Amino acid sequence: EVQLVESGGGLVQPGRSLRLSCAASGFTFDDYAMHWVRQAPGKGLEWVSSISWNRGDIDYADSVKGRFTISRDNAKNSLYLQMNSLRADDTALYYCTKDIFTVVRGVFDYWGQGTLVTVSS
Amino acid sequence: EIVMTQSPATLSVSPGERATLSCRASQSVSSNLAWYQQKPGQAPRLLIYGAFTRATGIPARFSGSGSGTEFTLTISSLQSEDFAVYYCQQYNNWPRFTFGPGSKVDIK
């Protein structure tokens, strides 16, 4: 059974940093691209970042480019999101998602339960 | 950026009835269109990708159609567990993946 378990969320002041983690199991992690998708409270879904199986393709939404860094450790079956210079509009539930393909295609076939990031003073 | 719009915002349907949801892209996305279902307090679930291919384990009452800029998700006979919010998402404009604002299906 595929499982994606996010951690690392919490309350943080504007301008500070936070690192999210996603522990994957139930599939061959290094065979698939992975993504982060977020959802602000009561709002819709927003793609944040993607990374291919071999880290060869990495990209970010314009809203987070230059502030967030996605990475993965295939030996640990883990995905990460380093978030710097956090702003109030980064407040959201952050989902770790698996791509249906090896390369970054953007079809999110499995989702974690999310980790909540709240940016507030 | 490709902008996705969905209609209606809310659809009230009785159990057993058919529900039809629409999704429109601001420019052609070919068949690179997915649909997701999200219930309150839960993560989204992939229903359809490639505009019409059902994801693993998705019941046959869910079907997708369309290409280019106009797409439809049809639920042939609504079950109680189908009342949820449905999002369409384009993945043609890699990697600028964009979602629609969602359509809520609630009980009439």
Shortest Cα–Cα distance, A47 to chain B (Å): 6
Residue A103 has a pLDDT of 82
Shortest Cα–Cα distance, A15 to chain B (Å): 26
Average pLDDT of chain B to the nearest whole number = 96
Residue A59 has a pLDDT of 94
- Section A30-55 average pLDDT: 95
Q: CB-based contact (8 Å) between A100 and chain B? A: yes
Q: Per-residue DSSP letters for A14-72?
A: TT--EEEEEEEESS-GGGS-EEEEEE-TTS-EEEEEEE-TTS--EEE-TTTTTTEEEEE
pLDDT digits (tens, 9 = 90+) for B21-67: 999 999 999 999 999 999 999 999 999 999 999 999 999 999 999 99
Residue A101 has a pLDDT of 85
Rounded to whole angstroms, the Cα distance separating B60 from A23 reads 32
Q: CB-based contact (8 Å) between A46 and chain B? A: yes
Judged by CB atoms closer than 8 Å, whether chains meet at B95 and A59 is answered as: yes
- Section A75-84 average pLDDT: 98
| Nearest CB neighbour to A112, from listed B43, B45, B94 | B43
Task: Indicate if the pLDDT at residue B4 is higher than 90.
Answer: yes
Task: Indicate if the pLDDT at residue A79 is higher than 90.
Answer: yes
Shortest Cα–Cα distance, B18 to chain A (Å): 24
pLDDT digits (tens, 9 = 90+) for B60-108: 999 999 999 999 999 999 999 999 999 999 999 887 899 999 999 998 8
DSSP state for residue A112 in the 8-state scheme: -
Structure tokens at A16: 């500070």
Shortest Cα–Cα distance, B26 to chain A (Å): 17
- Please state, for a pLDDT cut of 70, what percent of chain A lies above it: 100
In the numeric block, the tokens 């404009």 are attached to B93
Cβ-based contacts of B84 with chain A (< 8 Å): none
Structure tokens at A6: 């996010």
Residue A52 has a pLDDT of 92
Provide the β-strand partners of residue A94. A38, A115
Cβ-based contacts of A51 with chain B (< 8 Å): none
Residue B96 has a pLDDT of 87
- Quick one: which of B96, B37, B39 has its CA closest to B64? B37
Residue A77 has a pLDDT of 98
> Alpha-carbon torsion B71, B103, B49, B4, what sign?
positive
Cβ-based contacts of A40 with chain B (< 8 Å): none
Q: Per-residue DSSP letters for chain B?
A: ---EEEE-SEEEE-TTS-EEEEEEESS--TT-EEEEEE-TTS--EEEEETTTEEPTT--TTEEEEEETTEEEEEESS--GGG-EEEEEEE-SSTT--EE---EEEEE-
Find the closest chain A residue to B49 by CA distance. Answer: A107
In chain B, which residues touch A (CB < 8 A)?
A: 32, 34, 36, 42-46, 49, 55-56, 87, 89, 91, 94-102
